[in-house]
Structure formats: structure tokens, C-alpha cells
Amino acid sequence: MKATLLIQNARIRPLDDKIREAESIAVIGDRILAVGMNGDLAGLAGPDTRVLDLSGRVVLPGFIDAHQHFSTFSQFPLQLNLSPSKVDTIAKMLDSIASETKHLPPGEWIRGRGYDHTKIKDGRLPSRAELDAVSPLHPVVLVHVSAHGAIVNSEALRRGRLDVKTPDPVGGKYVRFPGTGELTGELVGMAAFNFYSENMSGGRMVVPPFERPIRKKALIEAAKILNKVGITGVHDASVAPSYITSYHDACRDNLLTLRVNMLIPYQWLSDLERIGLVGNWGNEWARSTGVKIVIDGAIAGCTAALKDGYSHNPEDHGLLYIADQGEIDQLVRRAHIMGYQACLHANGDLAIEMALDAIEKAQTDDPRPDPRHRIEHCTMVNESILRRMRSLGVIATPFASYLWQHSEKLVPYYGLKRAEAMFAHKSFLDSGVKVAGASDHPAGLLPPLLGVQSMVTRKIPSGVVVGAEQKISVEEAFKMYTRYAAYASFEEKIKGSLSPGHLADMVVLDRDPWKTKPEEIGEISVEMTILGGRIVYP
């Protein structure tokens, strides 16, 4: 049997417990046949073998990001980019909408994203009347950079049948003109989500999804951006039905250069129950192992649910999107019985304990072997949380580079002590809790190598170390983004290490991260990404 691809003269870090180092990898089709020294594998080359001489470059397993929002990111190029670096005045915002009206037939949605109210030079948002003046016939929806707010024009309100009589939803509000109570067009929290987000509205949003062929093409294009930073797999943390179909479309046609594990929002749990689609379905391209349940808010948005209040505002304990423990218990139990991982978004210690209570009850009432429930983000932990996670076999997916990205907010919001203990990669490892690497992109920064740098150094951009006790080794940091992420979707037997029989997913780096200054790991370049034995980048 001859290899289809033979990699030689490489410095290979297989991250396999049995094979510490190697020079050569032989691949047949999409699987690894053998890993060893140049001489051992040379005989596997035949006349049709593609031989890649890597002249000493470093090869690692392809990176797997255990929590990000790839389907959301894929839609970015389909929307007007209103981020402050592009558009910083109301006039520019209106201009870009006006020019869009010329490209789209009347009645089509104009969608924008990324405006930041604190960075618009006029010091205010555009009014509904201003939006109507440039777009009287097209409905307009512009989504805030945080995704937790939006502004819309009159045609959009009409499409949503929203008017002065519409009550505010739980967890959100329609901003109104004083006196008349008429809607200004600004939507906050759940009012915005119900308007535009399929995931959060449970499919009852006003803005329709993009057309199916457009969604598929956008996924295929966006995957190339991830391949460029060495990513071969993601866990997409919220995949509603329109994107289950789109992932299916792209994978069926063998066009997606990315493997995806889809976490399905609990809003569709009853549909899964109705059709009897039990957990861990799909294949190595598109799989679903988990049901996503969002309990609390965001770390950077100051809405994580905390037992002790925020440092800058001790009265404030953050937000619980599901405040009723009984409701969380029921959701977890239903996901558990259906064979899914309950993937509970919980940042603050208060929310994490509620998640653990629910998991504990489900596992006590209906014991299931190796359920691998997950706490997404799992930012603020303590000794008792770690002990309970360990004994329940719960997996954590903390932010790899939030410390780097949000350093200026963390200490003022949470105080130095709590900031130092956040993203507790080392505590998880030391306590025997399974933990995987995650970016939360596009809310977080994408490159896994930056995540590795941040976990290894705990340094923020100014050079200050925050939480030295949470530093982990280079080897462990790479395992977070490979083996441990594969474990988090029950795929450690086919992914996450360069081992015989595993999928041939790998990344080639220009430098050895083990021999690079830790502060510079983020600057290492990805020279090549191989997916299932095929070069997908460059």
C-alpha cells in the first residue's frame, strides 16, 4: 500500500502520547497511515505519491476552535460594514445605506453591522427619519457591534408589525419618543434579537435569513479565512435550522474546507425531540453533539452573573437570561436524555453553579455514561466549582485570548483578584477538569496562535502579567486547540493528534513555538494548512 501524500524532513509535533517526535507522515486519502522518521517511511512512496519536503518546518495537528460563531462570521461580508474604522459619522452611515438602495431592488432588506454608538463622532445614533430619508422603500436593519442592539427604519418596523402599542419583551426594550410613546427605531437586548437573530428568537425573527445558495457560498468563502490561521475545525456555538441546512449543503458537495460541530440552540430542542433526532449525529465534516443553553450575559459586556457584585458597581450582579433554576434543570435534563451534551453558556460563578446543579440532577436521576456536558466560557471558578466539574466530568471552554483583548475592562469591572483568576486554564488542568481552547470569534480574536500566546504568558498588550498562576506550558496550550477540543465533541479517536488512523488534518508553521519567545508565538506564520490530506492553504 503506497501513500498518496508523504511529508518528509519536517519537525513534527504529533501531540500523541506514544509518538513524541517524528520527521515524516504518510497519508492515504484523508487519513494518516504512519508517523515516523524519514528512513522508516520512505518505502511508502510510490510513483503516484505526492512528496512534500518541508525542510525542517514544524508540523502540528490542525487547530480546532472549541467555541466560536463561524456561521455568524460568514455573514459579515454580506452586510454593510459600519465599524468605526470604516464609518465614524452619521453622514457616512447614511451614505453607505443610500448607495446600497441603488444596488438592491426596492423591498429588499438592507443589513448593516458593527456600528458603535460611543464612536460615532456626532455623539448620537441616526434617527428613524434620517434612515427613512435615504431609504424610504427598503427596510433597513443595522446591528450594534455587540450584537445586543439594533436600529431600524420605518419600513422595517412596518414589516415587524411594531408600533406604539407593542409592549417591550422580557429582557429588552423598544426605545420610545417621550410623550407620544412612538418607537424611535432603536431596539435593545431581546427586542433587537427578536428582530434579527434566528438563534435568539427561536426562528421568529423579522429579518429573513439570506437565501440558501448565498449562505452556502458565504460559508465556503469564510472557511478559507480560518484555514489561513491554521484552523481545520470549529465548534459553531449556535446553529439554527437555516445553517444546519447550509452546512449540510456545503459538506454534501465537498466544498467546505472546515469540519464543524454544531451546537443547536435549546429553542429547537422540542423539534429535535419531535423528530427523534438523538445526540451525536452527522459525520466528521458536520456533526452535532450539543444543545446550547445561554444562562447569563457577557464578561466584556459586564453582564456575567456574579455571586459578589461588580467592582465598579457592587449592587450589580449581572444578568441571568434564564433565572429560574427549574427551567434550566428541565432543559438540561431533556438534552441529557436525548443523548446531547448540554452546553451551558455560563460566565459568572452564580451562573456556573446553576449549570452544575442542573447537570448534577440530570446525571443523578438518569445516569448516562460519559455525557461530557460542557460549560461554555466558564470564566469565574472557585475550588468547589472545580471539584464538582471534575466529579461530573464537565468540560470547560474558556476564552483563550480575552485577557489580551479586554485587559483594560477586566480589572475595573471585576477587581484584580477576580481578573487574575479568570480563564483558569491551569486550575482546570491541575484539578483534572477537561478543558478546550476557544476564541468566541467574531466576538473574540480568531488566531489560535494568539490564544496559545495568551494562555502561555498571561500577558496583556502593555506587557503586564495578569494571573501568573494560570500560565500553562506551550505543549498544554496546543493541546487545548487540538486534542482537548476533539475530546469536547467525542472525536478524540479521529482528530486532535497526528496518529495513525486519524484524519490527516495538519498545520505547517515557519518556526518552532517551543523554541520561540512566548511573547512572540502569536507572530509565528502558518505556512500551510492540510485538511483530510489536501492542501487548503495556501
| Residues engaged in binding Zn ion (CB under 5 A) | 237, 440
CB nearer to Zn ion: give 440 or 505. 440
Q: Buried (b) or exposed (e) across 207-220, using 16+ Cβ within 10 A?
A: bebbeeeebbbbbb
Residue 504: what are its φ and ψ, rounded to 5°?
-85, 70
- For Zn ion, the closer of residues 162 and 294 by Cβ is 294
Task: Output the smallest distance, CB 380 to Zn ion, in A.
Answer: 16
The residue to which cell 434579527 is assigned: 196
In what side-by-side order are the strands of the sheet with 110-115?
80-81, 110-115, 140-144, 149-152, 183-189, 172-176
Nearest CB to Zn ion, comparing residues 237 and 433: 237
Cβ–Cβ under 8 Å, residues 148 and 186: no
CB of 379 to Zn ion, least distance (A): 12
Q: How far is CA 300 from the centre of its chain?
A: 15
Nearer of residues 144 and 502 to Zn ion, judged by Cβ = 144
Q: Are 92 and 44 in contact (CB under 8 A)?
A: no
C-alpha to C-alpha distance for 20 and 212, rounded to whole angstroms: 45
Q: How far apart are CA 407 and CA 423, in angstroms?
A: 12
Of residues 234 and 536, the one with the C-beta less far from Zn ion: 234
Q: Please say which residue, 44 or 424, places its beta carbon nearer to Zn ion.
A: 424
What is residue 432's three-state secondary structure?
coil
- The residue ranges of DSSP E strands in 295-353, in sequence order, are 341-346
- Phi, then psi, of 279 in degrees rounded to 5: -65, 155
Residue with smaller CB distance to Zn ion, 66 or 286: 66
375, 346 contact by CB (below 8 A): yes
Beta pairing partners, 236 = 68, 262
Q: 251 and 225 in contact (C-beta within 8 Å)?
A: no
Least separation in angstroms between CB 237 and Zn ion:
4
Nearer to Zn ion, 69 or 372 (CB): 69
Closest approach of Cβ 377 to Zn ion, in Å? Answer: 7
- SS3 string of 150-163? EEECHHHHHHCCCC
Residue 402 or 537: the one with the smaller Cβ distance to Zn ion is 402
Measured from the CB atom, the residue of 134 and 240 that comes closer to Zn ion is: 240
Residue with C-alpha cell 432603536? 186
Instruction: Using the minimum distance from each CB to Zn ion, give the nearer residue, 349 or 440.
Output: 440
- Shortest distance (Å) from residue 440 CB to Zn ion: 5
Shortest Cβ 441–Zn ion spacing (Å): 9
Neighbour tally for 385: CB within 10 Å: 24
Burial class (CB in 10 A: 0-12, 13-18, 19+), 467: buried
Q: If residue 50 lies in a helix (H) or strand (E), which one and from where to where?
A: strand 50-53
| CB of 443 vs Zn ion, minimal distance in Å | 6
Question: Which among 488, 394, 400 is positioned nearest to 447, based on CA atoms?
Answer: 400
Least CB distance from residue 230 to Zn ion, whole Å? 20
484 near 472, Cβ under 8 Å?
no
Identity of the residue, 8 or 201, whose beta carbon is nearer to Zn ion in the bound complex: 201
State the nearest-atom distance from the C-beta of 303 to Zn ion, in Å.
13
Residue 71 CB, nearest distance to Zn ion (Å)?
Answer: 12
Which amino acid does the sequence have at 255?
A: L
From its phi and psi, is residue 508 left (phi > 0), alpha (psi between -120 and 50) or beta?
A: beta
Neighbours of 458 (CB within 10 A): 23
Q: Which cell numbers in the block locate residue 367?
A: 445516569
CB of 390 to Zn ion, least distance (A): 24
